[in-house]
């Protein structure tokens, strides 16, 4: 299926730094979801966004549903080593979900 444009593809950061990643699409979505996947595991839902402009936090994570409904971003503040993994965005339109290509995050202690 269709994939969303997610950037950056990978990030190498120092522990304590903030992280920002985003997803864009040429089509609008009704819901934006952000997942984290660790090696050998399935993706785990981090944040779900339901309305344009919505800003939602989950601990050190903050995500926003773009006002145009065509994009979303995820911020991680004060990164720690356990934040390592691949982060995926997903957009829902009707009954279909479309996934981003993933952002691989490496946190250097």
Partner 1 sequence: GAVVSQHPSRVICKSGTSVKIECRSLDFQATTMFWYRQFPKQSLMLMATSNEGSKATYEQGVEKDKFLINHASLTLSTLTVTSAHPEDSSFYICSARDYGDEQFFGPGTRLTVL
The site string for partner 1 over 45-74 (x = CB under 8 A, - otherwise) reads x--x-x------------------------
Cβ-based burial of 12 (10 A; exposed 0-12, middle 13-18, buried ≥19): exposed
Q: Is 82 helix (H, G, I), strand (E, B) or coil?
A: helix
Indicate whether 102 belongs to the interface with partner 1 (CB under 8 A): yes
CB 2 within 8 A of CB 97: no
Indicate whether 12 belongs to the interface with partner 1 (CB under 8 A): no
How many angstroms separate the CA atoms of 11 and 104, rounded?
6
Q: Return the range that interacts with partner 1 (CB under 8 A); candidates 14-22, 55-63, 73-81, 101-109.
A: 101-109
How many angstroms separate the CA atoms of 99 and 93, rounded?
11
Which residue from 41, 59, 82, 109 is in contact with partner 1, where contact means CB under 8 A?
Answer: 41
Residue ranges binding partner 1 (CB under 8 A) = 1, 3, 30-31, 33, 35, 40-45, 48, 50, 88, 90, 92, 95, 97, 99-102, 104
């Amino acid at each position: 299926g269709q994939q969303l444009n997610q950037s950056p593809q990978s990030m190498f950061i120092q522990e304590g730094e903030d992280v920002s990643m985003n997803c864009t699409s040429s089509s609008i979505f009704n819901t934006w979801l952000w997942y984290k996947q660790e090696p050998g595991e399935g993706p785990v839902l981090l944040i779900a966004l339901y309305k344009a402009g919505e800003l939602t936090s989950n601990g050190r994570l903050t995500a926003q549903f773009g006002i145009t409904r065509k994009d979303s971003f995820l911020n991680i503040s004060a990164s720690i080593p356990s934040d390592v993994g691949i982060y995926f965005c997903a957009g829902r339109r009707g009954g279909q979900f479309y996934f981003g290509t993933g952002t691989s995050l490496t946190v250097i202690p």
